Amino acid sequence: MAQMKIDDSIVLNSNEIVTFLEHVIKTNRDLQSRGMMPTAVNIEGHAGLGKTSTVLQVAQRNNLHMVKINLAQCEELGDIVGFPVKEYERENGTWITSDHLSTLTGDLLESNPITGKARMGYAVPSWIQGRENGEGGILLLDDYTRADPRYLQAVMELIDRQEYISFKLPVGWTIVLTSNPSNDNYMVQEIDTAMKTRFITVQYGFNAETWAAWAESMSLDQRCINFILKHPEIVAPDKINPRSIVHFFNQISVFKEFKKQLKFIRLVGDASCGPETTSLFINFINDELDKLPDIRAAYDKDVDFLGKEIHKATIDAEGQYKAAIASILATRLVIFLSKLHEKKAVDRATKERLSYIVKEKIFMEDLTRHICQSLIANNDKFASLAMQPEFASYVLSA
């Protein structure tokens, strides 16, 4: 399941983080049904990876309430724990605030007078009110380790027991934190052992294929997606983060011909990603790799058009096979078809195009196997293809 390891820590990509969070949320509900405390999760990763977006995705996929509090931007502890209010006891044993007291007059006050006892209470934070309908939810404490130490101390009990002085989270809620690594690259608070034991921490890492799938869903420029698939090594803590690369791509995607805009592309690239990445991208353009076939557009043509476009792009003038380019296009094909049939059944057009690609050996054996296994193993809409002869051998060889 894990993509890589850093300092003996398992690093998960975005899809794996989603699966992990959904498991924790489901398990937490089971724990609460047995009178046990749910578990909070801390997602630690470098800036720009999409930690917050991934949590939002989980909430949307599972129809959960979502409350996001950026602890680094909080200015009042009351935003989290509720504001203190003075309360007065009435003879019937109930307590009312000073605001309610001012509205009681005449018979209402005489029938149930104040006893003279007073206490300090807390007003429940607005973000938790009205969330008790049983659907469950996620409380996201964003940028957890960037918060002032006062806030870290204040939320310890909330993270551990899902309650504070003024309120208790409804049943079915899971607390999720996001944080950056504790190193010289980030201005973060050190988390001691007492805090760390109140949640479990998973490491979030970059994976080019899952990023490309996200970029496809966001309709990012397909030329730019291909560039990252060609050079995934540039997205690293000591180089650039995905947020910076997306800023770069968004600014240049308006150009139909990159080669005519090299000066501006270098300017924007140097400003957002640095000269090293920009130079790689300029080389990518000069090698005309920005002109690779658009899988989305080619799919809508005749049944053999997609295969012929891929074949043309992966064989050079001397007849040599361009494995790196083939790998990019195979990944793009898997992403496109997975998204296309995320909810709808595989139609005749898709079956015909895949059959053509397999039978005509458009890709080498290893990439053909990767395409078949990726689609059939990860999307139940493609399961029926495993019974067809041209696909069966690739699936059975998994």
CATH at 145: 3.40.50.300
Residue 268 has pLDDT above 80, yes or no: yes
> Which residue, 95, 123, 151, sits at the end of a domain?
123
Residue that has been written with the tokens 């002869």 in this structure: 389
Give 73-112 pLDDT, tens digit per residue: 777 776 676 666 778 887 777 777 776 766 666 555 666 7
Alpha carbons 156 and 177: distance in angstroms, whole number: 12
| Same domain flag for 271 and 358 | yes
> Which residue, 170, 204, 238, sits at the end of a domain?
204
104: CB partners within 8 A, 6+ apart? 96
116-120, 179-183, 356-360: segment of lowest average pLDDT:
116-120
| Same domain flag for 167 and 236 | no
Which of 47-56, 69-78, 281-290 has the highest mean predicted lDDT (pLDDT)? 281-290
Query: Domain span at residue 156?
Result: 4-76+130-204
| Same domain flag for 325 and 266 | yes
Residue that has been written with the tokens 């501006």 in this structure: 264
Q: For position 384, what pLDDT does the model report?
A: 85
What token pair was written down for 9? 């820590």
> Could you tell me how many helices (H) and strands (E) the chain has, helices first?
19, 10
| Same domain flag for 213 and 136 | no
What token pair was written down for 32? 């609460």
Count of domains in the chain?
3
| Same domain flag for 48 and 139 | yes
Q: For position 83, what pLDDT does the model report?
A: 67
> Which residue, 150, 185, 204, sits at the end of a domain?
204
| Same domain flag for 246 and 214 | yes
| Same domain flag for 217 and 357 | yes
| Same domain flag for 284 and 384 | yes
Helix axes 365-378, 389-396, angle to 10 degrees: 90
| Same domain flag for 224 and 322 | yes
What is the arithmetic mean of pLDDT over 285-299?
A: 93
C-beta of residue 44 within 8 angstroms of C-beta of residue 29: no
pLDDT band at 305 (very low <50, low <70, confident <90, very high): very high
| Same domain flag for 61 and 185 | yes
Alpha carbons 75 and 52: distance in angstroms, whole number: 21
Residue 2 has pLDDT above 70, yes or no: no
Give 318-372 pLDDT, tens digit per residue: 889 999 999 999 999 999 999 899 888 999 999 999 999 999 999 999 999 999 9
CA 183 to mean position of chain CA atoms: 23
What values do phi and psi take at 379, rounded to 5?
A: -145, 110
Q: For position 6, what pLDDT does the model report?
A: 43
| Same domain flag for 92 and 182 | no
| Same domain flag for 228 and 354 | yes
Give 203-216 pLDDT, tens digit per residue: 999 999 999 998 98
Q: Which residue has the higher pLDDT, 240 or 3?
A: 240
103-117, 176-190, 230-244, 362-376: segment of lowest average pLDDT:
103-117
What does pLDDT average to over the chain?
A: 86
Give 371-383 pLDDT, tens digit per residue: 998 898 778 888 8
